[in-house]
Amino acid sequence: MKNRPIGIFDSGIGGLTVVKEVMRQLPSEDIIYFGDTARVPYGIKSNETVIRFSIENILFLLKSNVKLICVACNTVSSVALPVIKNHFKVPIVGVISPGAREAVYASQNKRIGVIGTRATIRSCAYENEIKGLEPAAVVKVQACPLFVPLVEEGWFEGGVVRSIAEAYLAPLKASRVDTVILGCTHYPLLKPVIKKVMGDNTVLIDSAKQVATEVKEILASEGLLNKQGRGKQKFYVSDNPEWFTSIAGRFLGKDVKNVNKATV
């Protein structure tokens, strides 16, 4: 049981920010990653479609006999996870709760910003989670639909990216938030430009660290932690493995090889 891999899936390539953190915190664990690159982005899809895609992705990972599944997609975590979590025996970890907990802990003035896809913002998942933890918190949300395609195209900086970030983040600055949740696993790649726009005193919450910690805690509690050897990673995508290979190294900080195309 301990030697079984951890399954991680995302709508595209952004979930590699979670993979990187799981690799750092759990270096002995094998990881199976699936990026649904044929159907990205999820953030503009209907709830019914996101739920269907999520079930298909989970069933694909279960073929590899994974011991835990990490949903490295904020859209899926906010829209589908509450519906599907109890339909599978394997533990399923999302990204909403860990990020919200860290934001409430980090915020000094309890004015918290959340940026994400339209579907994530529309779900009110972060607002509900934050309010459940800190009823007095003021939550300002902002959909940033262009951030995902910018990251997928490798546009992390420059005048165009800065202008888009300034337009999206202006309402959060006006609301005087001191903490911003990066409510999409693509967004950590834009941290430098977001930090420049929001200012050095704003805390940016990258939920990948909290998610990896939660994965570690669950595996430990279930007696499923693998502490021996060095873990291996296998990568699957639903389309264009060559493109995925070319950009994945920017997320993981190392070259990615042997990316396989898979059908869900």
Catalytic site residue from 70, 124, 144, 184: 184
Class of domain 96-207: alpha beta
The pLDDT of 34-49, averaged and rounded, is 91
The pLDDT of 216-240, averaged and rounded, is 95
In 3D space, the residue among 105, 172, 112, 163 whose CA is nearest the CA of residue 143 turns out to be 172
As a whole number of Å, the CA-based R_g of the chain is 17
Does the CA dihedral 119-124-127-132 come out positive or negative?
negative
The pLDDT of 60-83, averaged and rounded, is 94
**pLDDT of 95-153, one tens digit each?**
999 999 999 999 999 999 999 989 899 999 999 999 999 999 999 999 999 998 898 78
Cα torsion 193, 194, 195, 197 to 10°: value is 90
Residue 209: its pLDDT value, please? 87
pLDDT at 36 over 90: yes
- Token pair recorded at residue 125: 């998942």
Does the CA dihedral 38-42-44-50 come out positive or negative?
positive
pLDDT band at 264 (very low <50, low <70, confident <90, very high): confident
Residue 201: its pLDDT value, please? 95
pLDDT at 172 over 90: yes
pLDDT band at 160 (very low <50, low <70, confident <90, very high): very high
Residue 149: its pLDDT value, please? 86
Residue 253: its pLDDT value, please? 85
Residue 223: its pLDDT value, please? 95
pLDDT at 210 over 90: no
pLDDT at 43 over 90: no
Mean pLDDT of the chain: 93
Residue 85: its pLDDT value, please? 85
Domain 6-94+209-261 falls under CATH 3.40.50.10860: no
The pLDDT of 188-214, averaged and rounded, is 93
Lowest mean pLDDT among 4-8, 68-72, 257-261: 257-261
β 6-10/233-237 pair status: unpaired
Portions of the chain given CATH number 3.40.50.1860: 6-94+209-261, 96-207
**pLDDT of 45-70, one tens digit each?**
999 999 999 999 999 999 999 999 99
Residue indicated by tokens 């999409």: 184
The runs of H, that is alpha helices, within the chain are 16-25, 47-62, 74-79, 81-84, 96-106, 118-123, 125-133, 147-152, 159-174, 191-198, 207-221, 241-252
Does the CA dihedral 9-243-23-227 come out positive or negative?
positive
Q: % helix / strand / coil in the chain, to the nearest 5? A: 50, 15, 35
Catalytic, 70? Answer: no
pLDDT at 251 over 90: no
Catalytic site residue from 70, 73, 124, 144: 73
Residue 236: its pLDDT value, please? 98
The pLDDT of 176-194, averaged and rounded, is 94
pLDDT at 170 over 90: yes
